Amino acid sequence: MADIIQLLPDHVANQIAAGEVVQRPASVVKELLENAIDAGATEIKLIVKDAGKTLIQVVDNGKGMSDTDARLCFERHATSKIKTAEDLFLLHTKGFRGEALASIAAIAHVELNTRQASDEVGTQIKIEGSKVVAQEVVVTPEGTSLLVKNLFFNIPARRNFLKSDAVELRHVIDEFQRVALAHPTIGFDFYHNGGELFRLPSSNNRQRIVHVFGGKTNEKLVPVEEPTEVVKIAGFVGKPEFAKKSRGEQFFFVNDRFIKSPYLHHAIMSAYEGLLKDGTQPSYYLFLDVDPATIDINIHPTKTEIKFDDEHTLYAILRSAVKHSLGQFNVAPILDFDSDPNLHTPYDYKDKKLDMPGIEVDAGFNPFKEEKSSSSQVRVKSNNFGSGNNSFRRNTSASWESLYVGLKDDDTFESKANHSEPDSFASIQFESEEVTGKLFEDDAVERPAAATYQLQKKYLVTTIKSGMVIIDQSRAHQRVLYEKFLKDITINEGVSQQLIFPLELHFSVTEIALIQTLKERLEGTGFAFESIEGDKVTITGIPLNVTESEVSIILEQLVSDFGEDIPDSGFTQTDMLAKTLCKTLAVRSGESLTVAEQEALVNNLFACTESAVSPFNRPTFITMTVEDIDKKFM
């Protein structure tokens, strides 16, 4: 039997490795930025076109490479970071496996320009699909510039699986933010399609967070700091009142490397226990410094998961540190007593000497004697007032009596007084409206009883010919609103109510890009946007059934629902948008409805095209026939 196992060619092996390392343009951005940081750069520039599908360029002012290193860096498993297996457990750098550039060069057109400070000229290398097209001497600034063009040009199937530009750009921004937050002392610039998205100067952790997520973020931060022998924790957590429905602004950095850890996330959530609303997530930006020998970062191809030697201790320290910070800065409720600010000593009295108060005693003080004398004085004064002001009292009484002069002699007054007797009402005549007739006879009119009843502020019960219907009020209202919004967005006839004062809301750059994508469809529902720029959204009009306080809730829910993916199809976007709006605005279980509201909801539900299920494919009502009820009594 012939041998069937054979070695793969290098270009095929590189493409297979690229499938693990390069999943989308954001993966290339991450690898190139980390290489620039390992090169000791202090200024890094990222240039992207068409969300990275057409061009990704990273320019740094690092130490550069020689012509030999420039050629060798594109070989598989070529790295300057490790030499022995033991080095894997003492890593202080970003990349170490030496597969990134080889994988990228296998699926894209790559152009490298690099120069060391000691060299007068640099090196330029062009590679297309793992094949070196050209290598020559070139004049270039100190550092390295790497261009990646036409990603997945030789793997069209992988390119077809890429999402829309809006989605891919959001992934690129996420990777950029993670690297930028981990290294606040390095300056970063980010350009997309010729426009500037980020300009981050060298700063500290707090300033970098504010620069990345907007100026309003500063007031939301609570500092956390806990140095221990096991781990040194520093960073910030968000105040509970600013918690969002999405989990976007949650970052763990271990030794300046971004990681994902559901276990540590649970420690943060337990520290916020009792402080958050249901369904909301706090923001946090925490930097953990641990001994490299106690972690293993080589357990995942993207190096975003880390294995800790002692996770339980780390969990306890992290939870207590966050809880302590929330209590220390009066964010969490603590045992405290209200103090009167009037009792606080002013700063002006800090250096003044205390004057001892003097005590004086009246040995001849007799409270009974004083009371007697004071009462006599009062009596004398009252006599003087009565004797000396008789004319004033007479004049006053005379003036009041003059108001009633002539009233006793007035016949009209006497007649009115006499009419106070009960039998005098017989002479009073009342005006009456003429009765023109009735639409129905009294016998034919029957005031109907309430057609619907609300049960436990959750269900609506109404009768039908065969029995009764029990309706879930929340799901029913979702169905009604869903079809309404779907119609408004489709035919673009949403009615808007204008605001007297424009409403300004602040979001991160990623959230602004998402809202910009959905702007046209939001306008179809009745929203009116004055401007969307920077980190600010200005709204001048909202739909009729939306209150001003609900606008921020709606947009946050949109960011949460569209956080993972924005569908390419326009109909799918409209469907998701209508579902988000109906889920946010529908009545909740526990809300009391008037009889008119109950009847309107029932009528609107059964006027829908699909009234049996909610937009999320859950039943909106059940029916119980008289036979079903009879069986309960058997």
Specify which residues 296 forms β-bridges with.
Answer: 307
List Cβ neighbours of 308 (8 Å cut-off, separation of 6 or more): 290, 294, 295, 314
Q: Dig out the tokens for 295 from the structure.
A: 């972690």
Q: Kindly tell me if the per-residue pLDDT of 91 is higher than 80.
A: no
More confident: 103 or 42 = 42
Burial of 282 (0-12, 13-18, 19+ CB in 10 A): buried
Angle at 524 between CA 521 and CA 527, to 5 degrees: 95
Q: Contact, 498 vs 469, CB < 8 A? A: no
Inter-axis angle of helices 205-213 and 165-182, to 10 degrees?
170
The pLDDT value given to residue 90: 57
In the chain, % helix, strand, coil (3-state, to 5) comes to 40, 20, 35
Q: Dig out the tokens for 172 from the structure.
A: 């690129």
Q: Dig out the tokens for 75 from the structure.
A: 């070989």
Q: What is the pLDDT of residues 307-346, one digit of tens each?
A: 788 888 999 999 999 999 988 876 655 554 555 666 666 6
Inter-axis angle of helices 509-525 and 165-182, to 10 degrees?
150
Domain 205-328 has CATH 3.40.640.10: no
CA–CA distance, 175 with 94 (Å, rounded to integer): 14
Q: Dig out the tokens for 245 from the structure.
A: 């429905």
Average pLDDT on 101-129 reads 90
Least confident of 121-130, 244-253, 303-312, 608-617: 303-312
Domain 454-623: which topology?
A: Ribosomal Protein S8; Chain: A, domain 1 (3.30.1370)
Residue indicated by tokens 């003036």:
399
532: Cα separation from own chain's centroid: 17
CA–CA distance, 582 with 576 (Å, rounded to integer): 10
Which residue intervals of the chain bear CATH 3.30.1370.100?
454-623
pLDDT band at 271; cut points 50, 70, 90: very high
Q: What is the DSSP letter of 548?
A: G
Burial of 621 (0-12, 13-18, 19+ CB in 10 A): buried
Inter-axis angle of helices 390-401 and 367-388, to 10 degrees?
60
Angle at 74 between CA 72 and CA 75, to 5 degrees: 70
Burial of 606 (0-12, 13-18, 19+ CB in 10 A): middle
Burial of 160 (0-12, 13-18, 19+ CB in 10 A): exposed
Q: What is the pLDDT of residues 483-519, one digit of tens each?
A: 988 888 888 777 888 888 899 888 888 788 888 888 8
**Nearest CA-CA partner of 537 in 492, 504, 508:** 504
pLDDT band at 442; cut points 50, 70, 90: very low
Domain 10-200 has CATH 3.30.565.10: yes
Q: Contact, 249 vs 213, CB < 8 A? A: yes
Determine phi and psi for 22, rounding to 5 degrees: -110, 100
pTM of the model: 0.69
Q: How many residues does the chain have?
A: 634
CA–CA distance, 623 with 611 (Å, rounded to integer): 13
Q: Contact, 142 vs 115, CB < 8 A? A: yes
Q: Kindly tell me if the per-residue pLDDT of 277 is higher than 70.
A: yes
Q: What is the pLDDT of residues 37-46, one digit of tens each?
A: 988 899 999 9
DSSP 177-237: HHHHHH-TTSEEEEEETTEEEEEE-S--HHHHHHHHH-GGGGGGEEEEEEE-SS-EEEEEE
More confident: 20 or 124 = 124
Q: What is the pLDDT of residues 557-603, one digit of tens each?
A: 888 777 655 665 556 778 888 888 898 889 988 888 888 888 899 99
The pLDDT value given to residue 631: 87
What is the average pLDDT score of the chain?
79
More confident: 274 or 202 = 202
